[in-house]
Amino acid sequence: MHEYYPAALEAFDDWTAEGPWAFVQAFPTPAKLIHAGKRRWEKFLHAHKLYRAETYPRRLEIFARADKFAGPPAVTHAKSRLAVALVKQLRVLQAQLRDYRTTIEKLFAEHPDRDVFGSLPGAGPKLAPRLLSELGQDRQRFQDPQALQCYSGTAPLTVQSGKNRWVKFRRACNKSLRSAVHHWANLSRAECAWAQAYYKHKRDQGLSHSCALRCLGQRWLKILWKMWQTGTPYDEALHTLNQVKHGSWVVTLT
């Protein structure tokens, strides 16, 4: 679209949403957008819930000059056909993803461990089912928190040869679970004061963003393992009380 339709890219910021996709289908070329006129532009914005008082005047101004920086006719003809074809594929895929999401939400709601995983701060409706599916139902699968931490890739790998010793990033792990824990740890910072304090402490120690999240994920997995074993939902007050009881240094940061 940079080559034939820069006005469309300028008018819309989020191209993961369906509104801009529908725009490409409704007005596949700058010439057709200009020919449609202001009334159809306004109707489209309202119909696709894209009307915003703060962006409306700017978008109309962009639409009005859409043909000023358009590509040559041959490029526009070829590229517009490709863009419309991609939009149709994306809309079909989006419908399939919505269907998957509905099914996942239904299965998660019926699962006996839904309250355990659903209570995890920051996990939300997408990561909670993902974490549940990765851990499964077999409580004997991970004998202790360290087994789960190694499986998920948050635990570092120690290599020793003679007097030499190295601590390395663990690559042999469940990469899907590692990714889920990484995102969960990051999102938990907005909901848990101790999680944000722990992350900030690691950053202050000189660790990178990813490494600090991996350390936070390591700590979260220890908590999750205990919750999973006992079938107990997460309780922020109880966790804080346990931190105080055991003299955790994290308490001093919050």
String of DSSP letters for 94-125: HHHHHHHHHHHHHHHHHSTTHHHHHTSTTTHH
Give the model's pLDDT for residue 252: 65
Residue 217 lies in a domain: yes
Range of the domain at 92: 6-104
> What is the pTM assigned to this prediction?
0.79
167 and 42 within one domain: no
Tell me which long-range contacts 208-212 makes (C-beta under 8 A, separation of at least 24): 210/182
Residue where one domain finishes, among candidates 85, 104, 123:
104
pLDDT < 50 positions in the chain: none
Distance in angstroms (rounded) separating the CA atoms of residues 77 and 62: 21
What is the reported pLDDT for 176? 95
Domain boundary among 75, 104, 133: 104
Together in a domain, 160 and 241 = yes
Whether residue 84 is found in the same domain as residue 129: no
Give bridge partners of residue 157 from the DSSP assignment. 168
Rounded-to-integer distance, Cα 47 and Cα 132, Å: 38
Q: Do 70 and 32 form a contact (C-beta atoms < 8 A)?
A: no
What pLDDT does 249 receive? 64
According to the model, what pLDDT value does residue 169 have? Answer: 79
Q: Are residues 98 and 118 in the same domain?
A: no
> Considering its fold, how many domains does the chain have in total?
2
pLDDT of residue 135: 94
Tokens of 85: 């074809």
Q: How far apart are CA 77 and CA 25, in angstroms?
A: 14
14/229 Cα distance (integer angstroms):
42
